Amino acid sequence: MLIRRASLLDGRVVDIRLGGQIEQVSESLRPQPGEEVFDAGSGTVIPGLHDHHLHVYSAAAELNSVRVGPQDVRGVDGLAQTLTRAVPGADGWIRAVGYHESVAGPLDRDVLDVLAPANPVRVQHRSGVMWTLNSAGLAAVGLANHPDGRLRSADPTWSEPLERTEPALDELSAQLAAYGVTGVTDATPDLDTAVRIRQRVHVLAPGKRILHDDALDLEALISWISDRHTDGVPAAIHCVTAAQLVVAVAALRVAGRYPGDRVEHAAMVPADCIADLAGLGVTVITQPNFVAERGDQYRTDVPETEQDQLWRLASLLHAGVPVALSTDAPFGGSDPWAAMRAAVHRRSSTGSVLNAAECVDARTALTLFLGSATQPARPRTIAPGQPADVCVLSAPPHEVLDQLDADLVVATVIDGATVFTR
């Protein structure tokens, strides 16, 4: 494939030949017989985006789920209407996602029995760690006598009896391709199934561990990290609270540095942890999109004295911490361009700015989605020898950086083959 008149981020306008990798980049290349030619028309061509932390099967399942987050429904009546109008899936279940207590307060089986229809219902908290089932749902998974219907996502004893339905993988893959995403890192713990979508997929399991504040065991974490390193597997540690990050830093310091070790999310980073992260050389995979999606709730839920710890970015980069960005879809929106805009502006849905000191410029935000699966913080480039995964945009570089908008994506190429055109 030959892409002609491609503007690169450095301002050059070149032709690009793609085969199994990027084969040639030159001011002018002559088409070969039978070669597919795409005229970029001086639009920007960048390496395909890599979302460094999402959950493929959950994101695909969300496409067939009811959204009940604060931005989707309001109050008890709104939640009741949404669940009542929901069309059950082929398995008879109503599956709702994105719930937060600001919608209608804490949920349990009794609340859902009143608000929801008689179908089995399961509602996932937007944190991803908890599901709440109504009585019909509990009976369906063999837990009719469960006291409150609140079940941890990571507990397979209740989820195994669920009838498996085919997730909308093709639809999700097409959506990602329309964003210019050519690769993803699936951060689902203990994922033991092959993930088959058009994008290149890197799986963190078995090197991913989720920490919970009510079960922080430093010695156990040190042992787990050491075992991963012994097996030649980097450790990826899910940290969304300051306490979790402090324990993770302490464990990594004892277990020792290993190439590819990661901290997932780093939603709260106390100031005295920044130098620790830099010293460890651990890569932070973070999601500034949550500032845009949940910023107003953070201003209510997080003490004002701690809000400067939320979703740090600029301070990590300035300290020399390797950083890459992701969306955490489906727990965050799946559009990486929205995450870039959030990194630049840090505006909530009502326009409030959260931690202006953590803003970065647009080029930095874009670059943090250009790393590879195994080297997230090292941006790929349009150069011979690089993978033949590219994103073609309709505008020149200055407009791309000004807008950071997925609507500018006009073509996505993976392994030299076009998988999306607008």
129 in the same domain as 30: no
What CA–CA distance (Å, rounded) separates 126 from 138?
Answer: 20
Q: What is the pLDDT of residues 310-320, one digit of tens each?
A: 999 999 999 99
224 in the same domain as 300: yes
Which pLDDT does position 192 carry in this prediction?
Answer: 77
Q: How many CB atoms lie within 10 A of CB 49?
A: 28
Between the CA atoms of 189, 195, 200 and 205, what dihedral angle is there, to the nearest 10 degrees? 20
Give the dihedral sign, CA 290/295/296/299: positive
Q: What are phi and psi of 202, to 5 degrees?
A: -115, 130
330 in the same domain as 235: yes
What CA–CA distance (Å, rounded) separates 340 from 101?
Answer: 27
152 in the same domain as 70: yes
- At residue 197, the 3 state secondary structure works out as coil
Between the CA atoms of 312, 96, 167 and 129, what dihedral angle is there, to the nearest 10 degrees? 40
Domain encompassing residue 17: 1-47+383-422
Q: Is the pTM of this model over 0.95?
A: no
The enclosing domain of 14 has a CATH number of 2.30.40.10
371 in the same domain as 412: no
- Domain tally, the chain: 3
Between the CA atoms of 352, 357, 363 and 369, what dihedral angle is there, to the nearest 10 degrees? -80
Which pLDDT does position 190 carry in this prediction?
Answer: 81
368 in the same domain as 391: no
302 in the same domain as 421: no
401 in the same domain as 331: no
Last residue of a domain, one of 115, 133, 159: 159
What CA–CA distance (Å, rounded) separates 349 from 15?
Answer: 40
Residues facing 186 on adjacent strands:
54, 203
Q: What is the pLDDT of residues 168-195, one digit of tens each?
A: 999 999 999 999 999 999 999 888 778 9
Closest CA to 45 of 4, 6, 3, 2: 6
207 in the same domain as 299: yes
Last residue of a domain, one of 159, 176, 201: 159
Which pair of structure tokens corresponds to residue 395? 């505008």
Low-confidence ranges of the chain (pLDDT < 50): none
Which pLDDT does position 160 carry in this prediction?
Answer: 86
What CA–CA distance (Å, rounded) separates 67 from 98?
Answer: 6
Residue type, position 397, single letter: P
The enclosing domain of 290 has a CATH number of 3.20.20.140
407 in the same domain as 374: no
Share of the chain above pLDDT 70, in %: 100
What CA–CA distance (Å, rounded) separates 313 from 357?
Answer: 9
Which pLDDT does position 90 carry in this prediction?
Answer: 87
142 in the same domain as 123: yes
Which pLDDT does position 33 carry in this prediction?
Answer: 95
Q: Give 104's contacts (C-beta < 8 A, 6+ positions apart).
A: 75, 76, 78, 79, 111, 115
373 in the same domain as 237: yes
Q: Give 348's contacts (C-beta < 8 A, 6+ positions apart).
A: 291, 292, 294, 295, 296, 298, 299, 354
Residue type, position 184, single letter: V
What CA–CA distance (Å, rounded) separates 311 from 315?
Answer: 10
Contacts 24+ apart (CB under 8 A), 212-220: 212/129, 212/244, 213/241, 213/243, 213/244, 216/243, 216/244, 216/247, 218/247, 218/250, 218/251
What CA–CA distance (Å, rounded) separates 256 from 219?
Answer: 14
Last residue of a domain, one of 117, 140, 159: 159
What CA–CA distance (Å, rounded) separates 322 from 261?
Answer: 11
